[in-house]
Amino acid sequence: MSRRDRDREEELRENIRKEIEEELRAAKELISEGDGKTALLSTSSFSGRTLTSEELNAIVASDEFVDFFERSTKVIEKALDQYDILTDYTLQAHEIDEDEDQGNTGGKGRRKVREIRQFYDERWSKKRMISAIDFSPKFQELLLASYTKNPSAPHDPDGIVQVWNLNLHDRPEFVFHAQSDILTAKFSPFHPNLIIGGAYSGQVLLWDTRAKSAPVQKTPLTGYGHTHPVYAVDIVGTQNANNIISCSTDGAVCGWSVDMLAQPQESLILTTPPPSKTEDLSPTCLAFPQADPTFFLVGSEEGTIYPCHRYDRAGAKAGVDARVSYKGHAAPVMSVDFHPARGPVDLGDLVLSSSLDWSVKLWKVRAPAATSTISGVGALGEGAVSPLMEFIREDVVYDAAWSPVKPGVFSLVDGAGWLELWDITVETEEPVARISPSPRKDGRTMLSKSLNKITWEQQEGKRLATGGIDGSLTVFEVGPDLGGKESLKNEEWTNVKKLVNRVEAVGVNGVTGV
């Protein structure tokens, strides 16, 4: 739009504003003169006038009108979704149950999995790959997905984050942009309006749902911070003292304050401990336990999982702990996930890892304070720990995550497009439920099935979301034996503990009874 057109629009808006102000002033004068003259308002003050096409276009194109229209239509769409106006109350109960069974489902009985939503935006999701998913810790209906670049749209932003609402089907609630591919993103658990992301350029980005689509803060590309892709970020600490921890593929780990991303508050360079042939360590994922924000695990490209300390402590310096490593994967580790540890028995030392070697492994992690060397069952040599259990799959496993409420349940997604749910207290050889997202009508077939990420909704643990190479985000709901707090029993935690103790004692994978 030329400058002359902009000036013309501004002039029109100003004229309309003056007319409205004059009418309001006249109305106030009439009201102040007495009730007897209020009848004249409808005829004298507010005479009807048709806007010219120029005036109409100026109003419709204004930012205020666009914002108002976007907000209003979202409110109406969400209101329409709250209630099914076509519900037929004359149906028998069993007929309603049969209807619920229709659609994309997997598993049986109380371990059923049902697809409830699939999100895809033609404008922003097309030809992009999902790189991260996260549910909002504050609003259960909100979830975000980060996306890589669309190679056929060079003028669009390379990286985007879309925040979807389960009550808004056809378009995202928010869309945020970045100048580089977004490789990871998550909601801040301490500030519900903030979203933290890591980019291929090495930047750590901060978006605010109250602001526009651009990041409100970002780390510099030069000087301090990361210069390699950031595949892992996390927010650790408490409500009043928390930090963003980011990790890039050159082994740099940085701690940032949410208020200032100009330079990191702390930084570490992770190196492979001896007797490794090279010092280079390339982290692919990062995980913190629930109880200790100073200790974390990183999965590496070589397949080893290393314990790391943010600060010096007794018997160990900051960085990689050279005394112990978790060796078992033969390919890059794609995810590491600590057990949520919310229950009568502490299972916070159990860790799941997934890898491109077609397996998921269950580990028991040593407490960071323990300084004794490892020996006996489960050791692969001095300082090397073998997994407790391993789950061999039929394709590469890109992600695995514990259920936030059920102690023995975890989920995984693979390169063949399957979402699997496991309950190790029931079965350790086969998943208890298995499902694949329904294909989009215009989606590609074989090459677009791969699923990259899986995330549970943290409060209730009834929903989980997955997405992959075709850019569509799918939300599933699980049955009462796989999620939800209604049927929780204390024995579930003790059963997992007994299983772990038995596997430790016997040293055999595949124990099916407890």
> Which of the pair, 419 or 486, is modelled with greater confidence?
419
Mean pLDDT of 237-254: 90
Q: How confident is the model at residue 510 (pLDDT cuts 50, 70, 90)?
A: very low
Q: How confident is the model at residue 230 (pLDDT cuts 50, 70, 90)?
A: very high
What pLDDT, on the 0 to 100 scale, is given for residue 83? Answer: 58
By residue count, the chain amounts to 514
Q: How confident is the model at residue 305 (pLDDT cuts 50, 70, 90)?
A: very high
136 domain residue, yes or no: yes
Find the CATH number of the domain harbouring 126: 2.130.10.10
What pLDDT, on the 0 to 100 scale, is given for residue 465? Answer: 94
In this structure, are residues 184 and 146 in contact, taking their beta carbons and an 8 Å threshold? yes
Which amino acid, residue 395?
A: D
Domain boundary among 237, 267, 295: 237
Residue 406, SS3? Answer: coil
210 & 333 share domain: no
What pLDDT, on the 0 to 100 scale, is given for residue 371? Answer: 45
Digit-coded pLDDT (tens) for 447-472: 668 899 999 998 888 999 999 898 89
Is the pLDDT at 124 greater than 80? The verdict is yes
215 & 361 share domain: no
Domain boundary among 189, 218, 237: 237
What pLDDT, on the 0 to 100 scale, is given for residue 102? Answer: 62
487 domain residue, yes or no: yes
339 & 483 share domain: yes
219 & 366 share domain: no
Digit-coded pLDDT (tens) for 355-406: 999 999 999 988 776 644 444 334 444 578 888 899 999 899 999 999 999 9
286 domain residue, yes or no: no
Q: Which of 347, 419, 366, 325 is nearest to 133 (CA)?
A: 419
Tokens 């943010």 belong to residue: 310
214 & 353 share domain: no
Specify the range with the lowest mean pLDDT, choosing from 12-16, 85-89, 132-136, 183-187: 85-89
What distance in Å separates the CA atoms of residue 129 and residue 134, rounded to the nearest whole number?
15
Mean pLDDT of 208-237: 88
Which amino acid, residue 408?
A: G
Please count the structural domains in the chain. 2
Q: How confident is the model at residue 445 (pLDDT cuts 50, 70, 90)?
A: low
272 domain residue, yes or no: no
138 domain residue, yes or no: yes
Mean of per-residue pLDDT scores for the chain: 83
What pLDDT, on the 0 to 100 scale, is given for residue 213? Answer: 87
Specify the range with the lowest mean pLDDT, choosing from 252-256, 331-335, 378-382: 378-382
Report DSSP letters for 104-125, one per residue: SEES-GGG-EEEEEEE--TTTT
Token digits for 371? 């300084």
What pLDDT, on the 0 to 100 scale, is given for residue 88? Answer: 63
What distance in Å separates the CA atoms of residue 253 and residue 268, rounded to the nearest whole number?
5
What pLDDT, on the 0 to 100 scale, is given for residue 25? Answer: 86
336 & 466 share domain: yes
Q: How confident is the model at residue 239 (pLDDT cuts 50, 70, 90)?
A: confident
What pLDDT, on the 0 to 100 scale, is given for residue 514? Answer: 36
> Which of the pair, 108 or 145, is modelled with greater confidence?
145
230 domain residue, yes or no: yes
Mean pLDDT of 51-60: 78
4 domain residue, yes or no: no
Mean pLDDT of 468-481: 90
356 & 470 share domain: yes
Report DSSP letters for 21-68, one per residue: HHHHHHHHHHHHH-GGGGGGIIIIIS---PPPHHHHHHHHHSHHHHHH
Is the pLDDT at 277 greater than 90? The verdict is no
Mean pLDDT of 7-21: 85
Q: Which ranges in 402-489 belong to alpha helices (H)?
A: none
> Which of the pair, 1 or 174, is modelled with greater confidence?
174
227 & 347 share domain: no
Mean pLDDT of 432-461: 82
In this structure, are residues 419 and 393 in contact, taking their beta carbons and an 8 Å threshold? no
Specify the range with the lowest mean pLDDT, choosing from 34-48, 254-268, 294-308, 425-439: 34-48
479 domain residue, yes or no: yes
Is the pLDDT at 256 greater than 60? The verdict is yes
What pLDDT, on the 0 to 100 scale, is given for residue 354? Answer: 94
What pLDDT, on the 0 to 100 scale, is given for residue 240? Answer: 87
What is the domain extent for residue 344? Answer: 303-309+320-371+383-439+462-504
> Which of the pair, 507 or 484, is modelled with greater confidence?
484
Is the pLDDT at 414 greater than 80? The verdict is yes
Q: Which ranges in 62-213 belong to alpha helices (H)?
A: 63-81, 93-101
Domain boundary among 237, 261, 285: 237
Q: How confident is the model at residue 348 (pLDDT cuts 50, 70, 90)?
A: confident
Q: Residue 318 burial (CB < 10 Å; 0-12/13-18/19+)?
A: middle
pTM: 0.79
Is the pLDDT at 44 greater than 90? The verdict is no
What pLDDT, on the 0 to 100 scale, is given for residue 373? Answer: 44
Percent with pLDDT over 70 in the chain: 85
